[in-house]
Chains A and B, each alone.
Chain A
Amino acid sequence: MAAEGDGLAGLEVDFLGASTRALADPQLRRNFRRAMDGLMAKRAALFADPAEWTRLRALGAGIRARNLGRLPELLETLERSLIRNGMAVHWARTPLEANRIVLELLRARGATAVVKGKSMVSEEMGLNHYLAEHGIEALESDLGEYIIQLDGEMPSHIIMPAIHKNKDQIARLFSQRIKEARYTEEVDELTAMARAVLRRKFEAADAGLSGVNFAVAETGTLCLVENEGNGRMSTHVPALHIALMGLEKVVERLDEVAPLYSLLTRSATGQAISTYLNLISGPRGEGELDGPREVHVVILDNGRSRIFQDPELAATLACIRCGACMNHCPVYTRIGGHAYEAVYPGPIGAILTPQVEGVGRRHELPHASSLCGACAEVCPVAIPITHLLIRLRREAGHRLPGTSVAGAGTARSGLEALGWRVWGWVLGHPAVYRCAAWCATRCWRLLPAGLPGLRAWTRTRSRPLAARRSLGERVRRQGVPRV
């Protein structure tokens, strides 16, 4: 059990149960199907030229590989540049350390009202909960995040956090939770209600929290991508701005942001450009009339430096958090984001979460994939997600020599190991194998459907049929010797 305030690592998880419940919810499945179909179509329209896509993606992947290849050096450069620009830098190994840093900064300035722009790292930290326990209200201001905060939920998608809800559900939620709200299903009116509430909060906030999409080492620039303007409000209205970033967000030069940003907005929401790209390279400067007096950057590790040890798995850190992998995943589309019981759902979550929380504890996640490869195909920075899923499946059950994977080998099942040994032995003895094949083809149909192992399969699928004669038998009958 992790310490209080140390992210999600201590929560009990039951992926099979959660995904089974999600599958049984037709409304949820409709909401996801509709949303994912829309996102896939919009993305495809923006990458209509395959030659441009191939080249731009190669550029993006190359930039990220180069950034990661020099990660420690770039982080030090970033720190120097941020400080030179008048910002402060804090380092946190764990979510708890990061939470304490944020709390300390807020307390030292007497800040009690905090507005937040969207930040997935703050979700990793469980920051809202931690601050609430210490008497500080951190209000989400991204519309989707605001909606789920009203309902006490976690994001179900990294870009569209409230994608699991339809507008009727949101209309009901608003009419119950917002004081002056009246019931309406008009999206424009619902949006206007949130605007009215949140404008007052922006005006009154003591501090603003935000994530970071890219942090530029050379120039000391924080790049924030958004459509709503809440990120700009959170970072420019209050006197204190605290930016939270995972340590992999660093890029070397601002030039590199141009292709990565283009890949990000097109992959994420099918937009050629977002409404705002906010480049922050300093707090309120000499002669400026607004902007934060102080900007603090918190750089979080939370397992990333461990992931970085393995040259293959380190590709996980190239991710720019566009969400295209989940939009295209047949498993995610059917079970939704909450079933993963993690901050990052979908294929990227299925490779990231087990590496952060332990591949034994989350051994089911790498199996939440048909290995169809859609995720890897659309990934704008070409992370070989399917290969990493297979690698982690293996790591869960086998402690490979020299492994750096958290919890490697701890999901080893004695029964499964025995099964494979028997299988291996049978295959190594042709006479036994032939005998087993003969029995299987003759007796398969006689097995009762209620047999425990078989029933788990046949409850939702038709029973697989064995051929009446094995291939070997049929070939031998045709007179081919020695098979």
Chain B
Amino acid sequence: MSEARTAILAALRAAPPRGPAPAPDFAVIGEKRWDAPERVARLRRAMAAVKTEFLDAGPGDWPRVVLEWVQAERLPNLLYGPGTAEGRALAAAWPAPGPGAPRLLAYDRPVEAFKGDLFGTVAAGFTTTLGGLAETGGLLLAPGPAEPRLLSLVPPVHLALLRADRIFDTLLQAFRELGWNREPPANALVVSGPSKTADIEQTLAYGVHGPKRLVVVLIN
């Protein structure tokens, strides 16, 4: 172990001992509870306020809703993770390649073999989510082998599938119920809108580095 480590820890241990501090009481957050329709309404309100778009869909027809939206927006392609059940459902509903049909691209190679396309030609990325947040708005994502980290970041449009019955009251509740507070995935994310900045004169501008548009496909 390094000399710096030993010296720093020794210096910290040399300080006068602190008395025991009381365990934190999270009641002020735990009290925040809403019923199911209010959870959906709050999430929509908060996320729409920061320019998130919503598409309503049913549990069976959401792949068609996604396809129609991509066609209506005239996007040339959509990148997805083929390793999830939702990814397979999307692929099954997608039309065969042909003139005018948007292409469904699978993120199935290491990024090193794919970076040029990812940064250059991919028009949109599709991911699932683990749920949402009612208090503040926000989507919970755990990228991994099935849905790589850059899928929700690099393409200019991010389409995210959210089940209305998976909206948590608060971030604290989500941390606990998803088990992130015990064993977090290598990467976990909360996303509450499209990329934005107010660094120039506090004027809000969207799409600075991440996606310019965030579209939530909400399964009611």
| B-binding residues in A (CB < 8 A) | 34-35, 38-39, 52, 55-56, 59, 62-63, 65-66, 68-72, 75-76, 85, 90-93, 97, 141-144, 147, 160-163, 166-167, 170, 187-188, 190-192, 194-195, 198-199, 202-203, 219, 221, 227-230, 232-233, 236-237, 247, 253-259, 261-262, 269, 272-291, 299, 301, 305-306, 308-309, 311, 314
Q: How far, in Å, is B182 (CB) from chain A's closest CB? A: 7
A275 to B193, Cβ gap below 8 A?
yes
Which chain B residues lie closer than 8 Å to A278 at the CB level? 187, 189
- In the complex, chain B residues 182-216 whose Cβ is within 8 Å of any chain A Cβ: 182-203, 205, 207-211
Which chain B residues lie closer than 8 Å to A187 at the CB level? 200-201, 203, 205
- In the complex, chain B residues 131-148 whose Cβ is within 8 Å of any chain A Cβ: 133, 135-138, 143-145, 148
Query: What 11 additional pairs, Cβ within 8 angstroms, besides A162-B199, A273-B46, A308-B15?
Result: A69-B20, A91-B8, A187-B200, A187-B201, A192-B207, A195-B208, A228-B196, A229-B209, A254-B175, A288-B149, A309-B15
Q: Which of A167, A273, A282, A309 contacts B14 (CB 8 A)?
A: A309
Is the CB of B57 closer than 8 A to any CB of chain A?
Answer: no
B12 to A277, Cβ gap below 8 A?
no
Instruction: Known A228-B209, A288-B186; judge A306-B111 contact (CB<8 A).
Output: no
B210 to A63, Cβ gap below 8 A?
no
B199 to A229, Cβ gap below 8 A?
no
A275 to B194, Cβ gap below 8 A?
yes
Q: How far, in Å, is A384 (CB) from chain B's closest CB? A: 16
Which chain A residues lie closer than 8 Å to B73 at the CB level? none
Is the CB of B119 closer than 8 A to any CB of chain A?
Answer: yes
A281 to B201, Cβ gap below 8 A?
no
Instruction: Known A167-B200, A227-B196, A275-B193; judge A233-B153 contact (CB<8 A).
Output: yes
A191 to B136, Cβ gap below 8 A?
no
Interface 0/1 of B13-27, CB less than 8 Å to A: 111101111111111
Which chain A residue has the least Cβ–Cβ distance from B207?
A195
Which chain B residue has the least Cβ–Cβ distance from A237?
B150
Is the CB of B91 closer than 8 A to any CB of chain A?
Answer: no
A192 and B195 alpha carbons, distance in the complex (Å) = 12
Which chain B residues lie closer than 8 Å to A280 at the CB level? 186-187
A273 to B138, Cβ gap below 8 A?
yes
A-B contact pairs, 26 of them (CB 8 A): A34-B202, A56-B28, A66-B23, A68-B18, A69-B21, A75-B12, A76-B9, A144-B197, A144-B199, A161-B199, A170-B200, A187-B200, A195-B208, A195-B209, A219-B180, A219-B183, A273-B133, A273-B171, A275-B210, A289-B145, A289-B148, A299-B8, A306-B11, A308-B15, A311-B15, A311-B16
